């Protein structure tokens, strides 16, 4: 065996060992693709054998700026060398500028920093309920929050309690009361569900985990009008769709809609650490008083420094505009594939879902085959392949990803239909 072959064998064994350790000592709450990554740069990821992969998922939009962007790494390291965590017991020189930038780019009055997207949504729920009792004068304990069917806002027990996905709820009850679901994209159903006790409607402008589901044109504007007429808070969950992902700073900007409350996360941390926020108009946020809500790590100097650098980078490099232009190109190239295994291509900006006909293959199998072609992404619900690369991706790299998908689909043509649903990666 040559030296190179021995080195490759050792690397392969190390990767297998890493997967075995994870399986042996970790909870089995994920089913990752069988690849062990150890480095990222820009739009690329690298495994332990040194193989390079084009990242077409960007950690569910958390890595919108690419892996280890120099400006963000510099902000992180410089701040880490000065001051990282103090808790909110004290003021810091980083939090104010970060909150000011957040409010400026979103048009909201105030921001409350947290860590994960789920925490931002939990904060929104608390704010909506207190506003309902103190401002709208809903009787104590009777506030109702409406959500959309197919929603995904996180994994806390409150949030999974209002999910319509059976697996997310199974075994985790009892759940908090006070929530009701309406069909996504149906403004008339929303209006019919509103009562005098309705505090808010929480909605994703595009549903990500549900399969990149885009509502009918005019839906968000209709929701805005309905909420205004009924004195109900419109809260947009833009943890995945915000910060340039769909071709605008916020996905609700496509319809010129300004919500009463807004949740952000994922890309806000620059792909380096968890940063999130709930933003709202003045009378909503002013319901919080000292001691009502908090987080030891929320708004820490390190997170604030990175978040501020991420917002500055987003504007300086005009990444929302790039997402729109490159998203249009990606959508057009995908539709040109015109393969019968593709049931639909849908999305906005660089948040696109390719729905796969399950009689040809599962979306998981397509993702495994793409991995073999040097492209990494993940399916949702076994039927949709997500394509949401870092916003810094170039057109040539998009073309590489589409060409890889074309090869994967072409491989389906040589397999009997009965076998296609099992795997295209073998």
CATH number at 274 reads 3.40.640.10
Q: Where are the beta strands (DSSP E) in 218-326?
A: 233-237, 261-264, 276-280
13 occurs within a structural domain: no
* Cα gap 23→26, rounded to integer Å: 6
**Judgement on whether residues 215 and 288 belong to the same structural domain of the protein:** yes
Contact 337, 366 (CB under 8 A): no
Name the residues annotated as catalytic.
152, 237, 266
- The closest of 109, 134, 105 to 282, measured between CA atoms, is 109
What domain range is 37 assigned to?
A: 31-60+319-420
Final residue belonging to a domain, choices 316, 344, 377 = 316
**Judgement on whether residues 278 and 346 belong to the same structural domain of the protein:** no
**Judgement on whether residues 334 and 282 belong to the same structural domain of the protein:** no
* Cα gap 190→17, rounded to integer Å: 51
**Judgement on whether residues 91 and 53 belong to the same structural domain of the protein:** no
**Judgement on whether residues 271 and 393 belong to the same structural domain of the protein:** no
**Judgement on whether residues 135 and 253 belong to the same structural domain of the protein:** yes
Q: Per the structure, how many domains does the chain have? A: 2
Final residue belonging to a domain, choices 316, 339, 360 = 316
Spans of the chain below 70 pLDDT: 1, 4-5, 7, 415-426
25 occurs within a structural domain: no
17 occurs within a structural domain: no
240 occurs within a structural domain: yes
**Judgement on whether residues 295 and 338 belong to the same structural domain of the protein:** no
Judged by DSSP in three states, 387 sits in: strand
Residue tagged 């399950």 (tokens):
358
* Cα gap 105→310, rounded to integer Å: 12
Would you say the C-alpha torsion 50, 52, 53, 58 has a positive or negative sign? positive
How far out from the chain centre does Cα 426 lie? Answer: 30
Provide the CATH number for the domain around residue 405: 3.90.1150.10
394 occurs within a structural domain: yes
91 occurs within a structural domain: yes
What's the start-to-end Cα distance of the chain, in Å? Answer: 26
| Residue-level pLDDT at 424 | 52
14 occurs within a structural domain: no
Contact 245, 388 (CB under 8 A): yes
268 occurs within a structural domain: yes
* Cα gap 220→238, rounded to integer Å: 13
Radius of gyration in angstroms for the set of CA atoms belonging to the chain, rounded to a whole number: 22
* Cα gap 267→273, rounded to integer Å: 9
| Residue-level pLDDT at 39 | 97
| Residue-level pLDDT at 31 | 93
**Judgement on whether residues 42 and 78 belong to the same structural domain of the protein:** no
**Judgement on whether residues 413 and 336 belong to the same structural domain of the protein:** yes
Structure tokens at 70: 């120099």
Structure tokens at 387: 């394509």
| Residue-level pLDDT at 426 | 44
pLDDT in tens, 139-171: 999 999 999 999 999 999 999 999 999 999 999
| Residue-level pLDDT at 4 | 67
- What DSSP designation does 132 have? I
Contact 307, 267 (CB under 8 A): no
Element spanning 37, H or E: strand 37-41
Distances (CA, A) of 226 to 143, 194, 231, 232: 18, 9, 8, 8
**Judgement on whether residues 120 and 245 belong to the same structural domain of the protein:** yes
Final residue belonging to a domain, choices 316, 337, 359 = 316
**Judgement on whether residues 207 and 325 belong to the same structural domain of the protein:** no
What's this model's pTM, rounded to 2 decimal places?
A: 0.94
* Cα gap 341→363, rounded to integer Å: 10
**Judgement on whether residues 254 and 397 belong to the same structural domain of the protein:** no
Percent of the residues in the chain that have a pLDDT greater than 70, as a whole number: 96
| Residue-level pLDDT at 77 | 98
């Amino acid at each position: 065996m040559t030296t190179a072959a021995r080195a490759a064998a050792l690397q392969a064994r190390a990767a297998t060992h890493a997967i075995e350790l994870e399986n042996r000592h970790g909870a089995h709450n994920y089913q990752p693709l069988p690849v062990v990554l150890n480095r990222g740069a820009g739009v690329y990821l690298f495994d332990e054998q040194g193989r390079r992969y084009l990242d077409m998922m960007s950690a569910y939009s958390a890595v919108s700026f690419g892996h280890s962007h120099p400006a963000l790494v510099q902000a992180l390291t410089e701040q880490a060398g000065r001051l990282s965590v103090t808790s909110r017991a004290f003021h810091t020189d980083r939090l104010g500028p970060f909150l000011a930038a957040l409010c400026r780019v979103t048009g909201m009055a105030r921001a409350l920093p947290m860590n994960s997207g789920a925490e931002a949504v939990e904060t929104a729920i608390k704010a909506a309920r207190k506003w309902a009792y103190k401002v709208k004068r809903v009787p104590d304990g009777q506030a109702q929050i409406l959500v959309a069917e197919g929603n995904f806002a996180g994994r806390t027990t409150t949030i999974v309690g209002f999910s319509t996905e059976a697996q997310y709820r199974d075994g985790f009850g009892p759940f908090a009361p006070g929530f009701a679901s309406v069909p996504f994209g149906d403004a008339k159903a929303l209006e019919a569900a509103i009562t005098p006790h309705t505090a808010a409607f929480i909605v994703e402008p595009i549903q990500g985990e549900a399969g990149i589901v885009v509502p009918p044109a005019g839906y968000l504007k209709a929701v805005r009008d309905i909420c205004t007429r009924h004195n109900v808070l419109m809260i947009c969950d833009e943890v995945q769709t915000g910060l340039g992902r769909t071709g605008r700073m916020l996905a609700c900007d496509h319809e010129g809609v300004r919500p009463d409350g807004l949740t952000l996360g994922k890309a806000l941390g620059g792909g380096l650490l968890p940063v999130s926020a709930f933003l709202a108009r003045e009378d909503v946020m002013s319901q919080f008083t000292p001691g009502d809500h908090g987080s030891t790590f929320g708004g820490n100097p390190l997170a604030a420094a990175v978040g501020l650098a991420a917002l500055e980078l987003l504007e300086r490099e005009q990444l929302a505009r790039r997402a729109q232009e490159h998203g249009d190109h990606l959508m057009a190239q995908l539709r040109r594939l015109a393969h019968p295994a593709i049931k639909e291509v849908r999305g906005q900006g660089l948040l696109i879902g390719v729905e796969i006909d399950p009689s040809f293959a599962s979306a998981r199998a397509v993702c495994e085959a793409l991995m073999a072609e040097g492209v990494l992404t993940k399916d949702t619900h076994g039927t949709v392949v997500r394509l949401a690369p870092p916003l810094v991706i170039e057109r040539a790299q998009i073309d590489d990803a589409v060409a890889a998908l074309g090869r994967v689909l072409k491989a389906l043509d040589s397999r009997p239909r009965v076998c296609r649903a099992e795997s295209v990666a073998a």
